[in-house]
Chain A
Amino acid sequence: MDFDLTEEQRLLKDSVDRLIADQYAFEQRKKYMAEPAGWSQAIWSQYAEIGLLGLPFEEKLGGFGGGAVETMIVMEAFGRGLVLEPYFATVILGGGLLRRAGNDALRAALVPQIIAGKLKLAFAHIERQSRYDIADVGTSAHKDGDCYVLDGAKSVVLHGDCADKLLVTARTSGGRRDRNGVGLFLVDADAAGVAHRGYPTQDGLRAAEVTLSNVRIGADAVLGIDVLPAVEHVVDEAIAALCAEAVGCMQAMHETTLEYLKTRQQFGRPIGSFQVLQHRSVDMLVALEQARSMAMFSAVMAGEDDPTERRRAIAAAKVQIGRSGRHVGQEAIQLHGGIGMTMEYKVGHYFKRMTMIDMLFGDADAHLETLAKLGGLFGNTKAA
C-alpha cells in the first residue's frame, strides 16, 4: 500500500501546478474575473493545450485516460488557484455523464470537441423544491414519436450561462421523487424553448437559471430514460473532485495564515509568537490533514461499483471537507483580523469558495444524515 504518485502523475502535477503558479496568481485572477464571461478564454485554451480538458476521457477519443487520482491532482491545483473556468461543469460533470450515461456515438461526436476546448457543457438538475435530492425531478420528458419533449425549470446550473449544451435530468415516469423514471437528455443551449438567465455565484464563478418550454429532443440526444444510478455515480465522482479542490483551497488558506502570523506585528512582536495562535494554527493543520486524507479516500472510492459502499465513503468525505473547510476558513479569517474581511485580500475569496463547495451536492449535515442512515462506516453487522 502506498500513497505515492506514479511518474506520469508527478508530471501531470508539475505541469498543472506550474500553470497555476505562473498564470493564476491572485492579481491575475482578478483580471480574468473582469472578462465578459467571468473567466479567461486564453486560460481555457491553455488547459486544452496541456491536455487537461481530456483528462478523464478514453485515449481512443484523444483523452488522457485518467482516473480519479488524476482528477484529484488537477482539482487540488485548481483549488489553490481558485480557478474560474468551467472545468468542473464541462469535464467532471458533463464529461462524467457522457462517460457513464452516454453512448459511443454521442461520445465520438462530443468528446473530441471538449478536448479541443470547443464545447462546454453544464449539468442541470437542481429544482425549486429539490434541495440536494438528485431524484427529486419535476421537469417532465414526454415521449412524442422518437422524440422527447421537455418542460420544466432548473436552478443554479453551474456555468449554465456559457454552456453550449446542457445535460438535463427530466422525468419520463413515476412520481416526482421516485428513483425510477429519471431520464437524462442533451439539450442545445440555444434550442427553441430554452431560456437561461446567468448570474455570478457567491464565490465569483457563474451559474444560470434555465427554463425549458416544449423543448424537443431527438432520439440521438437521449442519454437514457431511467438512469438515476449512473447519474448518482457521476455525482459521487464529482464530489470526490470537489474534495480535492477543497484541499487545495484549505492548503492555501493555511499557508497564507501562517505567513501572516509570522509577519504581522502587534504589541512589539509577531502575533505568531503568542501561544494561543500557535495552537490554533496547529488545529488548522490537523483539520487540513484530515480533509486531505478523506479526499484521497474519496478518490479511491469514487470508482467503487457497489453503490452503498461508494455512497458511504463519499458522504463521509463530504462531511469531513465541509467541517474542515468551515474550521480552516473561519480561523483563517479570524487570525487575519480585519484584512481577512476584505475583497482586496485573498483569504476571503478562498473562504467563499469553500463555503460554496460545502453547498454543492449537499452540505456536510445532509451527508452526515445519509451516512448515518446507511449505517456508518465501521463495525457494521450487515455484510457490505
Chain B
Amino acid sequence: MDLSFTQEELAFREEARRFFRTEIPQSIRDKVAEGEGLTRDDMIGSQRILNARGWATPNWPVQWGGQNWSPVQVYMYQDEMQQANVPTPIGFNVTMVGPVIAQFGSEEQKQHFLPKTANADIFWCQGFSEPGSGSDLASLRTRAERKGDTYIINGQKIWTTLAQYADWIFCLCRTDPAAKKQEGISFILVDMKTPGITVRPIVTIDGGREVNEVFFDNVEVPTENLVGQENKGWDYAKFLLGNERTGIARVGASKAKVARIKQLASMERLGDVPLIEVPRFREKLAAVEVELKALEMTQLRVVADERKREKGRPNPASSILKLKGSQIQQQLTELVMEVVGPYAMPYQRDFDGRNEETVGPDYATEAAPMYFNYRKVSIYGGSNEIQHNIVAKAILGL
C-alpha cells in the first residue's frame, strides 16, 4: 500500500493549482468563496477559459475534447479546482448531456452539439424531475408523441436548475405510455426557444431563483433530436445519473470552506478570545475535519479502484461519497452560522437593486442563505434516502 503520488502526478497537481489560482478572474473566485451567486456570464466565461486549455471536459472521449487522464489526475484536477474556488464547469453540459451524446448520440449530434457544449456556447438545463416524479423518476409523465418526423411534447418539468439561463434542455419524455414505466422513456434534446415552452421561476428559501418549472404546451421537436433509440432513454438516464464519480463528494470545496471558517473565526472574538481559540468551537471544527479527511481517503480509494473497474459502469461507492459529502457540506454551513453570530440575522439579498451598506461584516451576509440553500444537497442528485437504498441493494445485497 503506497499512498504517495508519482513525480508526474505531483507536477500535474502543481500545474493545476497554478492554473486555477492565476488564470480564472479573482472576482469570480471571490464570489464562489463568499457564497455569492454567479451570473450567466461568470459561468460561461470561466468555462471558456478552462475549455481553451482543454480542461473543461477532461472525462469526455479524447476526440471530443477529453484528456485521457488517469483517475488520480481527474481527482487532482477537481480537488485543486474546488480548493481554488473556481466554478465547476456547467454540470449539465459537462457531466450530463455531453457524455450521453458522446456515448449514445449520432455522428451528426456529436458534431453539432459537443464542441458548443464544451465551450458553453450552448447552456444546457436538465428536464428530468416532475411534480409527481421526484425519487420515483421513472414514473414521469411528460409525453412526446411522434407524428411523422416530429415529436409533440406536452407536460411539465420541475427543479430545472438555471432554465432561465439555458439555451437547450435535455428531456426525459414518455414515448410509449403502454410499456412498463422504465421501458417507455426517450431522451430528447429541445431548443428552449421552441414555441410552447414557458419557464416559471421557483423562489427557494434562501431567496434565490436557481430552479424553475418548465411547461411544455404542444412543443414541436424534430425527431432527429432524439438521442439514441426511442424508449431506451432510461438506460441513458442511468448512465448519466451514475456518471458523476469523484467530484460529487466535494472534498476540495469543503476544504476551502474549512479554510474560510478558520479565517473568519480568527476575526470574530468571544470576549477577548478569537473564536478559533475557543475550545468548544475548535473541537467542533476539528471533528468535521476528521470526517472530511476520512472522506478524502475514501474518495482516493474509489479513484484507485476506478483503474480496475469497467469504464462506463457506475460505481455504487459514489453513493457513499455523496452521503458523507453532503452531510459534511451541511455541517460546515452550520459552523459558518455559528462564527458569524447575530449578524447572520439581517436579510441582505439585494433583489430589488438597492445598493445599501452592509449590516455587520461582509462575510456575514451569505451565512444564513447558504445554510438554508444547502439543505438541498441531501435532497438533489438522488436524495440521501435513495442513496441509502442504492448502497443497501448494490453493495450490501439487502
Q: List A residues at the B interface (Cβ < 8 Å).
A: 126, 128-129, 131-133, 136, 155-156, 177, 197, 199-202, 207, 209, 265-267, 276-277, 326, 330, 333-334, 337-338, 340-344, 348-349, 351-352, 355-356, 359-360, 363, 365, 368-369
Contacts and interface: CB of A to CB of B under 8 A. Distances in A.
A227 B268 CA distance: 27
B286 interface: no
B169 to A, nearest CB: 18
B44 interface: no
Given A129-B269, A351-B205, A334 B375 contact: yes
Interface of B: 129, 132-136, 139, 158-159, 202-205, 207, 268-271, 280-281, 284, 334, 337-338, 341-348, 356, 359-360, 368-369, 371-372, 375-376, 378-380, 383-385, 388
B385 A266 contact: no
A343 B204 contact: yes
Most buried by B among A338, A349, A363, A368: A338
Contacts of B344: 202, 359
A132 B338 CA distance: 11
A156 B385 contact: no
A342 B360 CA distance: 27
Contacts of A348: 204-205, 372
A34 to B, nearest CB: 13
Given A133-B271, A197-B356, A355-B368, 7 more contacts: A156-B345, A156-B359, A202-B345, A267-B136, A342-B203, A349-B205, A359-B342
B345 A343 contact: no
Contact of B341 (A267, A277, A351, A359): A359
A280 to B, nearest CB: 9
Contact of B347 (A129, A202, A338): A202
Contact of B268 (A131, A199, A337): A131
A155 B379 contact: no
B161 to A, nearest CB: 11
B372 A352 contact: yes
A131 B136 contact: no
B282 to A, nearest CB: 12
Contacts of A365: 280-281, 284, 338
A340 B375 contact: yes
B134 A155 contact: no
A67 to B, nearest CB: 29
A369 B280 contact: yes
B271 A177 contact: yes
A267 B342 contact: no
Contacts of B270: 131
B104 to A, nearest CB: 27
B379 A136 contact: no
Given A338-B158, A342-B202, A344-B203, A155 B360 contact: yes
A369 B284 CA distance: 13
A337 B383 contact: yes
A338 B159 contact: yes
Contacts of A359: 337, 341-342, 344-345
Contacts of A276: 385, 388
A274 B112 CA distance: 45
Given A199-B348, A266-B139, A348-B205, A341 B338 contact: no
Most buried by B among A276, A333, A341, A355: A341
B280 A202 contact: no
A340 B204 CA distance: 9
A265 B380 CA distance: 18
B347 A200 contact: yes
A341 B271 contact: no
B342 A338 contact: no
B342 A337 contact: no
Nearest to B202: A342
A180 to B, nearest CB: 16
A98 to B, nearest CB: 24
A156 B129 contact: no
Contacts of A352: 205, 368, 372
15 contacts: A131-B268, A131-B269, A133-B271, A197-B359, A266-B133, A267-B135, A326-B334, A334-B379, A337-B379, A338-B158, A338-B380, A341-B379, A342-B205, A355-B337, A365-B280
B271 A199 contact: no
Nearest to B280: A369
A178 to B, nearest CB: 12
B342 A266 contact: no
A338 B372 contact: no
Contacts of B380: 338
A201 B379 contact: no
Interface pairs A-B: 5 shortest CB-CB: A348-B205, A266-B136, A343-B203, A200-B347, A202-B368
A368 B271 CA distance: 17
B205 A341 contact: yes
Nearest to A358: B337
Contacts of B134: 266, 337-338
A30 to B, nearest CB: 12
A156 B343 contact: yes
Nearest to B268: A131
B342 to A, nearest CB: 5
Contacts of B139: 266-267
A128 B343 CA distance: 9
A199 B348 CA distance: 8
A343 B201 CA distance: 11
A333 B338 CA distance: 21
Nearest to B330: A330
Contacts of B342: 126, 131-132, 155-156, 359
Given A131-B341, A156-B345, A359-B341, A333 B368 contact: no
Nearest to A347: B205
B375 A201 contact: no
Contacts of A333: 205, 375, 379
